[in-house]
Chains A and B, each alone.
Chain A
């Protein structure tokens, strides 16, 4: 790239420092391993930030009521929301993590992508319309529709915050690594920059700004990934067979990359991963929240169809991009660095395996396109963390503050203020978590978020809409059992117990807990609800019929606000 241009690098550092607050200057002048700087990336990134801050300003002037803040006034179209959902889902973890997984393991990357996708049809058939007809701002609105507000909303808020925190970790780590590579900034300052921008989008522009940031980024990402995939195919004469042959010839694992490998060596883990990804999608609070931004059930359903199409297309692209990285990036000296790990020199991709797609952009499109893809990847992180922050903040303000503490007596203005304060707090937590989890595989961290979503949020949400017999007691006890069992199994499993805490042997043998924790949650909910003979339980069961009618017909559902 620009190895020799020391003076240019120094200049751009000066330029960067000028744009950044004082804390960043130290990080840059400190003993950071100086990366090559790419002006294209820096300029494009700042153009994106300036443009999205402009949108945030525009959105801020249109965001007055709580409905504007949480749900963009319900005025987003089905197609726009579909793109925004796709944007939420095509996170940096998907883009960088899965293309890296394809590069290192080949076919296994495709298995992961498929798992991420197949939850969408289920959401369309069973969740989307009912959710839109019943809820207002958060999935807790639906879960607590006929149940006792305080316990169910508290549970839903805890489930939301756990999912959001885990998902945030993955995004923050991705952000840190990416900016470290691109800007020559330290990991710490990169993570702090992301945290600050995220807080700005959400606190000033609410859901309207978050949605448009998401849409713009989704379009940029889809265009960039399409270009990369076409360039990769062009290098192999648009023949998949030639592409696979070249990749097999240059990959250290050879033919093994064309077959399922290590990821499914353990059948229980493979199925468990599938359960987690499929049902976790239907329990992700920041995704569920998107269904309240459209005007009715029809638009909600349309948005999932649009999202499924774009996400499926995107995963096919990441597969091609991963193979492109095998052919054009893996093992090439210009993209390899030597680091010292456990006292041994190890050669790896510059910035780690997750940088596969970024290096490929350089290989197929030069510095300018590298700049574009880097800016897109960074924009992706910003957009996704903003959606997550809004979702986490809503759980705090709408569920915990307005419903649990103020018992529905808080004014809208007060609720929005609490939401903004919660966003700031989440920004700080996200930065701290980003620092703590610097060296974890990002795609894998997302898997953990999915396990909790599948084991805690999904069973309660699903049964609240489908099972007359659900009671408050059953929902809270069963949901907590699902949550705790997923967390405990993750902590005692290989990812945390061995890789993070440094123990020799995992106490729980599987990476993915969902196959145990999700049925356990369903079973507990069923047993506790069935045994619940209280008068309150009888009232809650009686309320199912009106709820069911509303979920089916939309009579009484929240409309779009008019302005």
Chain B
């Protein structure tokens, strides 16, 4: 990559837009995942009986079971949200940037 190309890319507003939106989305979703997971772990660590509470009176299924399954599902859903945005918006932006700077 030569100096002139780097300059053209850096000064392209679409590149700034790509970097900003991608970073914002990436970090937001990462933080959501971290909060969900460490929230789960912290409850386990500091209030272990919470997840051991039966889901309803007389039931042996505890709250921890659906919560655990939801954490697993959330990982999949959050990844899906990112991939969807990236496949449409980010790839489109990248294509436009590459075309514009190559001219």
For residue B57, CB closer than 8 A to chain A, the reply is no
Complex Cα–Cα for A118 and B73 (A): 10
Measured in the bound complex, the distance between the Cα atoms of B36 and A126 in whole Å is 17
* Contact partners of A240 in chain B: CB under 8 A: 61, 65
Residues of A within 8 A of B38 (CB): 271, 274
Q: How far is the CA of A95 from the CA of B38 in the complex (A)?
A: 24
Q: Interface code A167-178, partner B: CB below 8 Å = 1, 0 otherwise?
A: 000000000000
Q: Which 9 A-B pairs have the closest CB atoms?
A: A259-B52, A267-B45, A125-B26, A118-B37, A110-B68, A270-B45, A305-B83, A264-B44, A258-B62
User: With A and B bound together, what is the CA distance between A274 and B44 in angstroms?
Assistant: 11
| Among A179-187, A382-390, A517-525, A542-550, the stretch in contact with B | A542-550
| Contact, CB under 8 Å: A259 / B45 | no
- A247 to B, closest residue via Cβ: B60
The interface residues of chain B lying within 8 Å CB-to-CB of A124 are 79, 82-83
Q: Tell me if A312 is interfacial: C-beta within 8 Å of chain B.
A: yes
Set B15, B40, B59, B76: member contacting A553, Cβ < 8 A: B15
Decide if A556 is an interface residue (CB 8 Å cutoff). Answer: yes
Which interface residue of B10, B19, B41 has the most chain A CB atoms within 10 A? Answer: B41
Q: Can you offer 5 A-B residue contacts whose CB atoms are under 8 A?
A: A120-B79, A260-B44, A260-B52, A552-B15, A552-B19
A19 and B71 CA atoms in complex are apart in Å by: 47
Partner of A258, one of B30, B40, B65, B72: B65
Question: What string of 1s and 0s marks CB contacts (under 8 Å) between B20-46 and chain A?
Answer: 001001110110011011101110111
- Contacts between the two chains (Cβ within 8 Å), count: 149
User: In the assembly, what is the distance between CA of A248 and CA of B52, in Å?
Assistant: 13
A239-256 interface bits toward B, Cβ cutoff 8 Å, 1 = contact, 0 = none: 011001100100000010
A555 with B68: CB separation less than 8 A = no
A125 cross-chain contacts in B, Cβ below 8 A: 25-27, 29-30, 82
Query: Which of B15, B22, B33 is in CB contact (< 8 Å) with A118?
Result: B33
Interface-located stretch among A26-34, A296-304, A411-419, A422-430: A296-304
Q: How far is the CA of A125 from the CA of B62 in the complex (A)?
A: 32
The CA-CA distance from A177 to B33 in the complex, in Å, is 36
Contact B98 A117 (CB under 8 A): no
A315 on interface, CB distance cutoff 8 Å:
yes
Q: Report which residue of B18, B26, B87 has the largest number of chain A beta carbons within 10 angstroms of its beta carbon.
A: B26
Number of interface residues of A (CB under 8 A): 50
Q: Chain A residues near B25 (CB, 8 Å)? A: 125
B41 contacts which of A271, A312, A555 (Cβ < 8 Å)? A271
Contacts A114-B40, A126-B26, A260-B48 given; indicate if A121 touches B75 (C-beta within 8 A).
Answer: yes
> Max chain B CB contacts within 10 Å: which of A248, A278, A312?
A312
Q: For residues 279 through 319 of chain A, which have their beta carbon under 8 Å from a beta carbon of chain B?
A: 298, 301-302, 304-305, 308-309, 312, 315-316
Whole-angstrom CA separation of A553 from B76 in the bound complex: 25
A107 lies within 8 A of chain B by Cβ: yes
Q: Which residues of A contact B42 (CB under 8 A)?
A: 267, 271
B9 to A549, Cβ gap below 8 A?
Answer: yes
Q: Nearest residue in A to B25 (C-beta to C-beta)?
A: A125
Chain B residue at smallest Cβ distance from A546: B1
Q: How far is the CA of A260 from the CA of B101 in the complex (A)?
A: 56
- A111 near B37 with CB under 8 A, answer no
Pairwise interchain contact A556-B72, C-beta atoms closer than 8 A = no
CB distance from B80 to the nearest CB of A (A): 6
A223 in the interface (beta carbon within 8 A)? no
A301/B48 contact (C-beta < 8 A), A244-B60, A553-B94 known:
no
Q: Which residues of A are found within 8 Å of B73, using beta-carbon distances?
A: 312
Given A121-B82, A241-B61, A259-B51, CB of A553 within 8 Å of CB of B44: no
Q: Does A160 contact B (CB under 8 A)?
A: no
Given contacts A259-B52, A271-B38, A305-B83, contact A117 B64 (CB under 8 A): no
Shortest distance between the CB of B95 and any CB in chain A (Å): 10
Given contacts A125-B82, A298-B91, are A114 and B98 in contact (CB under 8 A)? no
Contacts beyond the supplied A271-B42, A302-B87: 16 A-B pairs with Cβ under 8 Å: A107-B64, A121-B79, A240-B65, A241-B59, A259-B64, A264-B48, A267-B45, A267-B46, A278-B37, A304-B79, A304-B83, A312-B73, A546-B6, A549-B6, A553-B15, A556-B1
